[in-house]
């Protein structure tokens, strides 16, 4: 039986390559596994050999020590790979299939899953609705920044690529289907982006860039991306976005300089709880700054898509209230402007098949847009360090050296 090297969080700022043990068709007890989930049979699961497994900004929150993640947690929820074993209850998925693994773990049986809300499955996590691989408070399922990973409810969760050779040619694009492409798209859909929309996207990290691409796919007339990082803004300009360097001033003023009016039709928060201020406050953390700016910048009656991560526990917050997820949001402003707010994780399965077809039929080059950069598993620490310093890249780990050069 092969070993299983994996990237594990070991404390603030520390990730290490460890031997996690080859997966079995049972959820073993381990870091972050709720007692009710330990020993849970997974006869309906598949073991996947990751071809591409990405580093996400959500992983970075944990590695910075900004969540209650336990040391030893194997990271990684953006998984694309080959099925190498299937459990005895699997009927559809076959050994050898190339698949995208949604970061949401969903049973397909509960009330929420049947309604399409796979991001808040009621059965995979005894602590709260919703499960994910390698993430704090998400059921304890080991992550996929590893050589092998167990994926439960395989027939329901896994998206099979129809042609292996064609899929390998576009594997870096398809690797974005596990999370950031559907997440950015979800942010735009919930914000109401459509033909002719003017859109402001806060954040030019990988999710923000994916949202910008998605806004273009949905027919937006103008897509404005705001960030503090000039390299990331340059990446957005590279595929036709307008940009706003919010270190220089208020987003509404910067939007007005582009559009002639200080408001957009709709907006997307792709930053989340580690937001910084704008203009003179750009050097300090202001966890509510993006949400407040989006309310100021979005027209009355507009919608705000909020796929950016917000947490209930942030031990590294500078404000006591923010340590418990309480932010100084100007909700009265949003109420007065009759805004609609859409929050929570993206239900990946709602979108990933259609976005796969867009990739396979050359409608979008999402890997180029987010500057996908491949590293071997052994260099995961480097990827985390460079990403933490603001690199304008989406790091993709290649555990088995299978991604074509």
- Digit-by-digit pLDDT tens for the chain (405 residues) are 689 999 999 999 999 999 999 999 999 999 999 999 999 999 999 999 999 999 999 999 999 999 999 999 999 999 999 999 999 999 999 999 999 999 999 999 999 999 999 999 999 999 999 999 999 999 999 999 999 999 999 999 999 999 999 999 999 999 999 999 999 999 999 999 999 999 999 999 999 999 999 999 999 999 999 999 999 999 999 999 999 999 999 999 999 999 999 999 999 999 999 999 999 899 899 999 999 999 999 999 999 999 999 998 899 888 888 898 899 999 999 999 999 999 999 999 999 999 999 999 999 999 999 999 999 999 999 999 999 999 999 999 999 999 998
Query: Do the domains at 5-179+351-398 and 180-343 have one common CATH topology?
Result: no
pLDDT at 318: 85
Question: Which one of 3.90.180.10, 3.60.20.40, 3.40.50.300, 3.30.1490.100 gives the CATH number of domain 5-179+351-398?
Answer: 3.90.180.10
Antiparallel, parallel or unpaired: β 159-160 and 394-398? unpaired
The yes/no answer on whether domain 180-343 falls in CATH 3.40.50.720 is yes
Task: Provide the residue ranges of all domains of the chain, joining segments of one domain with +.
Answer: 5-179+351-398, 180-343
Q: Give the DSSP letter string of 182-219.
A: HHHHHHHHHHT--TT-EEEEE--SHHHHHHHHHHHHTT
pTM of the model: 0.97
Exposed (0-12), middle (13-18) or buried (19+): which is 98, by Cβ within 10 Å?
buried
What is d(CA 319, CA 331) in angstroms, rounded to the nearest whole number? 19
What is d(CA 387, CA 59) in angstroms, rounded to the nearest whole number? 11
What are the φ and ψ backbone dihedral angles of 112, each rounded to 5 degrees? -70, -45
pLDDT at 1: 67
pLDDT at 288: 94
């Amino acid at each position: 039986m092969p070993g299983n090297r994996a990237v594990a969080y070991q404390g603030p700022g520390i990730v290490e390559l460890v031997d996690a043990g080859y997966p079995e068709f049972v959820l073993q007890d381990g870091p972050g596994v709720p007692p009710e989930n330990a020993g849970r049979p997974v006869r309906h699961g598949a073991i996947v050999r990751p071809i591409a497994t990405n580093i996400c900004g959500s992983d970075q929150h944990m590695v910075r020590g900004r969540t209650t993640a336990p040391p030893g947690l194997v990271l990684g929820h953006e998984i694309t790979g080959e099925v190498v074993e299937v459990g005895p209850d699997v009927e559809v998925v076959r050994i050898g299939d190339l698949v995208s693994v949604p970061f949401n773990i969903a049973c397909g049986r509960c009330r929420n899953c049947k309604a399409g809300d796979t991001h808040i499955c009621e059965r995979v996590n005894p602590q709260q609705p919703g499960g994910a691989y390698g993430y704090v408070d998400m059921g304890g399922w080991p992550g996929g920044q590893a050589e092998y990973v167990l994926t439960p409810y395989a027939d329901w969760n896994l998206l099979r690529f129809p042609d292996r050779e064609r899929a390998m040619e576009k594997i870096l694009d398809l690797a974005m289907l596990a999370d950031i492409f559907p997440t950015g798209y979800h942010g735009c859909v919930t914000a109401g982006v459509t033909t002719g929309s003017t859109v402001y996207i806060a954040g030019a990290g990988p999710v923000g860039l994916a949202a910008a691409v998605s806004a273009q796919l949905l027919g937006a007339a103008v897509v404005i991306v705001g960030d503090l990082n000039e390299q990331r803004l340059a990446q957005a300009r590279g595929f036709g976005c307008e940009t706003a360097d919010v270190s220089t001033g208020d987003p509404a003023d910067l939007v007005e300089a582009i559009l002639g009016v200080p408001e957009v039709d709709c907006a997307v928060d792709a930053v989340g709880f580690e937001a910084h201020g704008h203009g003179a406050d750009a050097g300090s953390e202001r966890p509510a700054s993006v949400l407040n700016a989006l309310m100021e910048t979005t027209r009355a009656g507009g919608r705000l898509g909020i796929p950016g991560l917000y947490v209930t526990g942030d031990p590294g917050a500078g404000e006591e209230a923010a340590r418990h997820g309480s932010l100084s949001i100007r909700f009265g402003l949003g109420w007065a402007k009759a805004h609609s707010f859409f929050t929570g994780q993206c239900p990946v399965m709602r979108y990933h098949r259609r976005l796969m077809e867009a990739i396979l039929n050359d409608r979008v080059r999402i890997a180029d847009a987010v500057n996908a950069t491949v590293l071997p598993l052994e260099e995961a620490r480097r990827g985390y360090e460079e990403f933490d310093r603001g690199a304008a890249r989406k790091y993709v780990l290649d555990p088995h050296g299978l991604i074509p050069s």
